[in-house]
Structure 1
Amino acid sequence: MHADRRQFLAGSAATAALATVPAWAATPARAPLSDLFDELVQTQLRRSPESATQLGLDTAANADLRAKLSDQSATGIAAHKMEISAQLKRLEAIDRAALTPEQRVDLDCILFTRRSAVAIQALDFGGSAYGPSPYVVSQQSGAYQSVPDFLDTKHKIESRGDADAYLQRVQAFGRQIDEQTERMRHDAAAGVVPPDYILDLTIEQLSKTAVPANDALVVQSIARRAAAKGLGDTYGTQAAAIYTAGALPALQRQLAYARDLRAKATHDAGVWKLPQGAAFYPVALKATTTASMTPQEVHTFGLDQAEMLSARLDAELKKQGFTKGSVGERMAALYKNPDQLYPNTDAGKQQAIAYCNAKLDAIRSRLPSVFERVPPYSFEVRRVPPQTEAGAAAAFSQAPAIDGSRPGLVYFNLKDAGDWPKFCLATTVYHEGLPGHQLESGLALSNAGLPLIRKINGFSGYGEGWALYAEQLADEIGLYDDDPLGRLGYLKFMLFRANRCVVDTGLHHLRWSREQAIRRFVEQEGETPGFAAREVERYTVNPGQACSYKIGHSVFADIRTRAQAKQGVRFDLKAYHSAVLRHGRVPLDVLRQIGDEWMARG
């Protein structure tokens, strides 16, 4: 332990922090950082009880968090700002010269998170969905959608204590909804109002959530699960009463206010229209991509990558006999091929999910050939719940619980099965599942040498960049050798990620309209209008995040290319993968340093 540990701690904070973390999740001794990191983890868990439950860390002295939801009031937001600023000062005061190379990586990662948070909080509006969002409530963010899904899928009910805690969270649900409605009022007073089409989606989803108790997921979930555990039928009745008295009126108030805002909303898509929008976008772009690129540089990068990938896709299409029309027209025709479509019914959607799970199973046996270590967790593919699919992303991934009590999950949005023809599914499974997000996050979570704070904090540029590299790797190890249409899907989605850079910067930097952005996807790569619209609507509320994928991929690919050129026949793919994965998720500038240091040693 570092001799002067008191500079990081106050009183018995370290003892309290360490006592709340189970042995299997404890931070290894990496003084002088470990004590501070343990304290920051504890503060983070207390700030976000939902995260504590999702990570399986709502135990021991943190067991009370099982009955709570986060404080999103104006007072809570102000306290969080002060907390983050104080943490940043302590982190910046650390003597880097006293640290090992591994510790410097850890410090740089946590410094990046706090610096990004301070920059975002300085703008004083919005909330968080996949990244910094100018809108606290939208089709992709807000307690109205996150809490019911969280209670249904993350809050375990094994005992009466679990069920009682669930009821307390239903009570807190109404409070959190009202806190976010007040935040919406605060933002609107500052001129921050979502576009009309975002409010239309939000109102649609709020209307489906603000339903009588008998139809509410938060009531149905506990009634079903408590009965299944032999806890009787009173919990459903209690949940219904709590929901009817608190959460439902709060939902109705939020819905009414969203309708009021809709009457004032404009159709402009980008954050440039907001009072501090010109400052917000570069901050969001830096926070999510972790790359030091200007909006114009990202736009140009996307255009260049899209041109190169369109040429590759054109060549592959011709190999399969698709020769007439533009690349976008040929891909659109392939999207409509009946042989590639699952029926747009519940049964057809179940078939699509079964196909995805089969692809996930098939790749497991290939992993040891290219990885020195594979994660110990289980993984599966599921469908996005119908009540949230109107505004949910096309596909996304949720990491497993650290203790393995819940599998890693890959979700597909099957609102319209036509958005997911068969040839597009496999590459998305590889991206979201194995060897993509689930492998990368599973390795980090099971990495005994990685501090807990590093395991539970991620970076979109790294995570999405790796997942896109994983799609490339799947092709390289032969997973499309007997599936040439699947390779078309892989290249099409690679092109899609390049166009994301073009569209996101187009919306927020170049003042494109929603319709212009949708048209880019439809014309360039044959996207269905519905799929393209949901993507553009996502970028509207999550500026910058969509650029993470291709920018991050370019860094992984560049390190590997340079290593192959330098090492020649000595290049070892397994060793490369271990080098770029061993530190967990890091900012892209840190990843470049890691790659350079590994090549220098090799």
Structure 2
Amino acid sequence: MTTEISRRGALAGIAATSVAATSVAVAARAAVPATDAAALLDRFAWRLLEIGPERATALGVDSGAHAGLRRKLEDRSPAGVAAQRAFLRGALAELARLPRTGLDPTTLTSLAVAESAFRTALDGMALPYGVATIGDWRNTPYGVIQNVGSWLDVPQLLDGDQPVRDAADAEAYLARLAAMPAQLDGETARIRMAREQGLVPPAFLLDKTIAGMTRTIADAAKADGALVGPLARKVAAIPGRWVDRAQGIARSAIVPALERQLTELRAERAVASDAPGLGVRPHGPEWYAWGLRAGTTTRRSAADIHAFGRARLAELQARMDPILRGQGLTEGSVADRATALQHRPGIGFPDGDEGRRQIVAYMQGRIDAIRPRLGQVFRRLTRGNLEIRRMPLAQEPGAPAAYGGPGSIDGRVPGKVWVNLGDPSIHNRVTIPDLLFHEGIPGHVWQGEYAQQLPLIRSILAFNAYSEGWALYAEQLADELGIYADDPAGQLGYLMGLAWRAVRLIVDTGIHAMGWSRDKALAEFVAATGLPRSNAESEIDRYCAWPGQACGYEIGHAEIVAQRDRARAALGARFDLRDFNQTVVDGGNVPLDVLAGNVSRYIGGGNA
């Protein structure tokens, strides 16, 4: 009975989405006045939010006429991907017809951003499998894995961004829960199709995923679990049987869909190997070339990126050496000495919940310390609306140390730094400061608030090399602002963080283009960084799941610094760091070639 109902539901969904795809294609061919670029971009933005309604909630624009988006989830089925392709083809055709003459620089930048994001995504969707996102950074050949999938995304959305202020909001929460099984089944269909083409994730990633999903299934219908618990907290003052209804949806629909997905993952595990890279997988080299392009917004080869990473690592370790010597650490490799410093008394935190509390408090202190200095490096300050939150527990085993981003456009939902507190030992007073400046202020949260002041589409479309490059550049600004004047351990951590990103260039390309084993990648990573093995394993597994994404960080950082050097050389005494930084953040999240154009206009006296 369950199977037949699911089959009928899936067929109905495919039919409905096919109709939607046709409607999108027809709409995209509609004539647009040549002068109405802003209206065109706005129409594209709302169509993107219909495709990915979760983003509408994250931005806080799922209200009024668009309140229905708060009830929906992205269609991740094969038909859903077909609808996205239809939109992209039509949108690119409209962009090609739109005259550029007489348009202001901001609009020209927005058009270039949309065209680049749409073209890259469409090319990725032409590949035989995987997830190619439109203006997002989580491109992956594997539709469900330890850090990808509805089983992780929906709980985090409901816990973090989903507002529940009244009964209508509570109903929207329940509607999203009810939409989750279809999203899960769409993913399951795609990963089954990929398996039939010979694409199976590495066994060690599947082991993590299966373990995490098993825990999620056990937790799904609990009143304090990741799906129902957020609603229970948010509806405390709203009369109704909200929790009972949520538990009913979880038991009757979500758990069976998760179990279907888990069955497919176990089928994959039965035929999986430990080979970590794409080089041994069907169409793997082709997929990795696209992954590098999407992750760096350049056409740089894997060999070039690998060599750049080696050179950058040597440069950074040469800067770390005198700091270590100043701490009395003179024997052994740079990585070994950096590790020894982290084991000194007073550097780490206690185990357990007390350690977790102290970690969050120390993080907040670093944010509070940087805020008063930002007027020295920006012409116009944004709010920096930020809170520090622990990641959902199911996510922690496959997640990095932290990640962050801005909140809603209206400011009602703050930006967040999501911190991995599963193993408190991965955090200490050496590594925390640069992590907070990267993820929070003046990194992702800060930069994202500037982007939200641009046309709506610019808050939706993001480029990994720019956003991660900016976050590393934000770490550099913190150092240049003197935040480490009395904190050599923190400055070492900053340089360690940059070295870590240089190693990513080496290891990501090593895994996917040079045939490295997981053990070789781990050995290279630990030897170069001195990071704990538990941290290193999470990192290596992330590179296996998101090929090319990790290369965007230092490629983007290096380009921002190169553009700053170019502006300083061109302007001489007229150069002002505040103006340069304002140009980069006001121009928004862009491909690196568009960034260069924005800086050229700044040098020439124009506006980015």
TM range, smaller chain: over 0.9
Measure the CA separation in 2 of the matches of 1:231 and 1:155: 18
Asked if the contact 2:137/2:462 (under 8 Å) is kept, the reply is no
* Contact kept in structure 2, 1:131 and 1:288, CA below 8 Å: no
Match of 1:253 among 247, 260, 276: 260
Which among 404, 419, 422 is matched to residue 397 of structure 1? 404
Give the corresponding residue for 1:457: 461
Shift of 1:586: 0.8
2:226 — aligned with what?
217
Q: Secondary structure at the match of 1:422?
A: coil
Q: Any idea what SS the aligned residue of 1:218 has? A: coil
Map 1:426-505 onto structure 2 (within 5 A).
426-445=433-452, 447=453, 450-505=454-509
Secondary structure at the counterpart of residue 398 of structure 2: coil
Q: What is the aligned counterpart of 2:292 among 271, 278, 285?
A: 285
Relative distance call for 1:349 and 1:441 in structure 2 (3 A) is same
- Residues 135-154 of structure 1 aligned to structure 2 (within 5 Å): 135-154=142-161
- SS of residue paired to 1:410: strand
Alignment equivalent of 2:139, drawn from 129, 132, 135: 132
Question: Is 2:564 the partner of 1:564?
Answer: no
What's 1:343 paired with? 350
Task: Tell whether 2:49 aligns with 1:45.
Answer: yes
Q: C-alpha distance in 2, partners of 1:208/1:481?
A: 45
Instruction: Give, in whole Å, the separation in 2 of the partners of 1:478 and 1:140.
Output: 36
Aligned pair partner of 1:508 in 512, 519, 534: 512
CA shift, 1:98, in A, is: 4.5
- Distance in 2 between residues matched to 1:280 and 1:207, nearest whole Å: 30
Q: Secondary structure at the match of 1:253?
A: helix
Aligned-pair CA distance for 1:276: 1.0
Superimposed CA distance per residue, residues 237-260 of structure 1 (whole angstroms, 9 cap, x where no aligned partner): 111111111001111121122112
Could you tell me whether the CA contact under 8 Å between 2:468 and 2:553 is conserved in 1?
Answer: yes
1:295-321 CA-to-partner distances (Å, cap 9, x unmatched) read: 111111111111111111112211222
- Match of 1:422? 429
Choose the corresponding residue for 2:95, options 91, 95, 98. 91
Contact 1:360 1:380 in 2 (8 A): no
Q: Is the 8 A contact 1:69 1:169 kept in 2?
A: yes
Q: Distance in 2 between matches of 1:238 and 1:13?
A: 43
Provide the identity percentage: 39
Q: Is the 8 A contact 2:29 2:94 kept in 1?
A: no
Q: Pick the aligned partner of 1:329 from 298, 320, 336.
A: 336
Structure 2 residue aligned with 1:192, among 192, 195, 199? 199
Matched, 1:65 2:72: no
Task: Tell me which amino acid in the other structure corresponds to 2:535.
Answer: F
- Segments of 4+ moved more than 4 angstroms: 8-15
Deviation for aligned residue 1:507: 0.8
- Residue 9 of structure 1: how far off its partner (Å): 10
Instruction: For residues 523-581 of structure 1, give each alpha carbon's deviation from its aligned partner in whole angstroms, at most 9, with x where no partner exists.
Output: 11211111111011111111111111111111111111222233333221111111222
* Residue number in structure 2 paired with 1:243: 250
Match of residue 20 from structure 2: none
2:164 corresponds to which of 146, 154, 157: 157
Distance of aligned partners of 1:98 and 1:599 in 2 relative to their CA distance in 1, 3 Å threshold: closer
Structure 1 position 229 matched with structure 2 position 233? no
Q: For 1:211, what is the secondary structure of its paired residue?
A: helix
- Change over 3 Å in CA distance of 1:377–1:333 after alignment to 2: closer
Q: 1:167, 1:384 → 2: CA distance? A: 22
What is the CA–CA distance in structure 2 between the aligned matches of 1:426 and 1:523, rounded to whole Å? 22
Judging changes above 3 Å, is the alpha-carbon distance between structure 1 residues 390 and 421 closer, same or farther for their aligned structure 2 residues? same
The count of corresponding residues between Structure 1 and Structure 2 is 577
In structure 2, the CA distance between the partners of 1:274 and 1:9, relative to structure 1 (3 Å rule), is closer
Q: Does 1:534 align with 2:538?
A: yes
- 1:14 Cα deviation after fit: 11
Which one of the candidate residues 580, 590, 593 is aligned to 1:576?
580
Q: Which moved more, 1:123-132 or 1:149-158?
A: 123-132
1:459-518 residue CA offsets vs partner (Å, 9 max, x unmatched): 111111111111111111110001111000001111111111111111111111111111
Residue of structure 1 in register with 2:182 after alignment: 175
Deviation at 1:435, TM superposition (A): 1.2
Write the distance in 2 (CA, Å) between the matches of 1:461 and 1:440.
14
On the 8 A contact 1:377/1:404 being kept in 2, the answer is: no
1:303 and 2:307 matched: no
Is the contact between residue 158 and residue 229 of structure 1 (CA under 8 Å) also seen in structure 2? no
CA contact (8 A) 1:144 1:206 kept: yes
In the TM superposition, what whole-angstrom CA distance separates every residue of 1:401-444 from its partner, at most 9, and x where no partner exists? 00101111112212211111211101111111111111111112
d(CA) in 1 for partners of 2:393, 2:137: 20
Q: Is the 8 A contact 2:28 2:94 kept in 1?
A: no
Cα distance in 2, alignment partners of residues 482 and 14 from structure 1: 61
Structure 1 Cα separation of the partners of residues 466 and 183 of structure 2: 32
Q: Distance in 2 between matches of 1:532 and 1:261?
A: 25
For the pair 1:388 / 2:395, whether they are aligned, the reply is yes
* 8 Å Cα contact 1:9-1:36 kept in structure 2: no
CA–CA distance in 2 between the matches of 1:275 and 1:509?
14
Using the alignment, how far apart are the partners of 2:104 and 2:175 within structure 1? 45
1:45 alignment partner AA: L
85-94 or 215-224, which deviates more: 215-224
2: CA distance between counterparts of 1:521 and 1:377?
33
**TM-score normalised per structure 2:** 0.91
Q: Secondary structure at the match of 1:366?
A: helix
The 8 Å contact of residues 405 and 448 in structure 2, kept in 1 or not, is answered as no
Q: Verify the 8 A CA contact 2:404 2:444 in the aligned structure 1.
A: yes
**Alpha-carbon offset, residue 521 of structure 1:** 1.5
Q: Is the 8 A contact 1:272 1:278 kept in 2?
A: yes
Whether the 8 Å CA contact 1:377–1:400 is kept in 2: the answer is no
Following the alignment from structure 2 to structure 1, what is the Cα–Cα distance between the partners of residues 175 and 36? Answer: 39
For residues 440 and 30 of structure 1, do their structure 2 counterparts lie closer, same or farther at Cα, with a shift above 3 Å needed?
farther
SS for the counterpart of 2:127 is coil
Deviations for 1:133-191, whole angstroms, at most 9, x for unmatched residues? 00000111100111112112221111111111211111111121111111111110111
Tell whether 2:346 aligns with 1:366: no
3-state SS in 2 of match to 1:340: coil
Q: Which amino acid aligns with 2:333?
A: S
Residues 506, 517 of structure 1: 8 Å contact kept? yes
- Letter paired with 1:464: E
- 1:590 alignment partner in structure 2: 594
| Contact 1:284–1:544 under 8 Å retained in 2 | yes
- The answer to whether the 8 A contact 2:177-2:250 is kept is yes
* C-alpha distance 130-108 of structure 1, shift in aligned 2 (>3 A): closer
Counterparts of 1:161 and 1:477 in 2: how far apart (Å)?
Answer: 47
The CA distance in 2 between the partners of 1:393 and 1:552, in whole Å, is: 20
How far apart are 1:372 and its partner, in Å?
0.8
Distance in 1, matches of 2:29 and 2:64, equals 17
**Where does the alignment leave 5 or more consecutive residues of structure 2 unmatched?**
1-24
Q: 1:213-245 CA distances to partner (integer Å, 9 max, x unpaired)?
A: 22632122223322x22324x111111111111
Query: Is residue 356–residue 424 contact of structure 2 (8 Å, CA) maintained in 1?
Result: yes
State the Cα distance separating 1:336 from its structure 2 match: 2.1
Q: Deviations over 1:321-377 (max 9, x none)?
A: 211100111112123223211112111111011110111111111111221111124
Report the equivalent of 1:23: none
Q: How far off its partner does 1:262 sit?
A: 0.7
Tell me the CA shift for residue 37 of structure 1: 0.6
* Cα distance in structure 2, aligned partners of 1:440 and 1:392: 22
- The more displaced of 77-86 and 215-224 is 215-224
Q: What's the TM-score, normalizing by structure 1?
A: 0.92
CA shift, 1:92, in A, is 2.0
Give the drift of 1:597: 2.9
Contact kept in structure 2, 1:393 and 1:534, CA below 8 Å = yes
